[in-house]
């Protein structure tokens, strides 16, 4: 039986989503919980491999359990019980079709990057936002974001360790909004390069603080040169929000949510 899980986590203490040889990945915490629940060490396969320190509110995973007697309620309750006190929670569980794959069935992935621009240090948002202790201008950030939307070679914005076969991606959304001292960057695409969202957030920030012009933002995109990326935003401001899938793959009994 294949199960679809919606997972939330605070990435601060983890080495990223992916399982590590010595442990320390979010995937390792989930595998530990699965083993305690059913006696088998099984992987929860995720929709995206978030980096060290990156958070998630709507990571999606799939898990295969051989015993047909499991119910969504028991899977969710059992995993959450065995995950304690780790900052990982299973928010929803649903039976999934055999051909559902959390990663390869995804149509789009959605991220948010939070910047807080103020003089006072962060307290409640510490570890969950990029602290910038001086003003940022919203309008030029919004204009710069438009430059990157569409089908481009994003070589400038990919990590040197990126394993993607091509740097050409289609960025369907990149928008910047402001609510008081909080700037939120929203990014959506079928898939992303390693460090792409953080690299784009870094460029938007230096445009917002006046250190980079709109023309420079356009030039670094066209350069297709990683060394031209002015700044990579820190991981703690990034959150994986949710994933889109074809409706027919979600046509299963209703999911169970907390």
Tell me: cis bond preceding 85? Omega within 30 of 0 counts.
Answer: yes
Which phi and psi angles does 92 have, rounded to 5°?
Answer: -155, 150
Instruction: List helix spans (H) across 40-169.
Output: 72-83, 138-148
Q: Which of 6, 8, 249 is nearest to 106 (CA)?
A: 249
Asked if 152 and 218 touch (Cβ cutoff 8 Å), the reply is no
Return the active site residues. Answer: 51
DSSP state of 188: E
Compute the distance between CA of residue 171 and CA of residue 191 in angstroms, rounded to an integer: 8
Distance CA 180, CA 183 (A): 8
């Amino acid at each position: 039986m294949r199960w679809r899980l919606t997972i939330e986590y605070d990435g601060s203490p983890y080495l990223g989503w992916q399982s590590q040889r010595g442990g320390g990945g979010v995937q390792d915490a989930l595998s530990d919980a699965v083993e305690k629940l059913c006696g088998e060490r099984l992987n929860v396969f995720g929709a995206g491999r978030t980096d060290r320190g990156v958070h998630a509110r709507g990571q999606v995973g799939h898990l295969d359990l051989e015993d047909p007697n499991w119910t969504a309620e028991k899977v969710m309750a059992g995993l959450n019980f065995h995950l304690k006190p780790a900052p990982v929670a299973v928010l929803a569980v649903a039976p999934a079709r055999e051909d559902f794959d959390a990663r390869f069935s995804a149509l789009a992935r959605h991220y948010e990057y939070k910047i807080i621009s103020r003089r006072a240090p962060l307290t409640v948002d510490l570890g969950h936002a990029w602290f910038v202790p001086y003003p940022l201008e919203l309008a030029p950030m919004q204009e710069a974001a438009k430059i990157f939307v569409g089908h481009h070679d994003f070589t400038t914005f990919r990590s040197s360790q990126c394993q993607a076969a091509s740097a050409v991606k289609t960025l369907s959304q990149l928008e910047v909004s402001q609510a008081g001292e909080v700037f939120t960057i929203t990014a959506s695409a079928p898939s992303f390069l390693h460090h792409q969202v953080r690299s784009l957030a870094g460029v938007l920030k230096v445009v917002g603080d006046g250190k980079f012009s709109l023309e420079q933002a356009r030039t670094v995109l066209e350069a297709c040169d990683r060394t031209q990326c002015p700044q990579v935003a820190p991981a703690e401001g990034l959150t994986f929000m949710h994933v889109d899938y074809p409706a027919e793959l979600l046509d299963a009994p209703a999911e169970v949510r907390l």
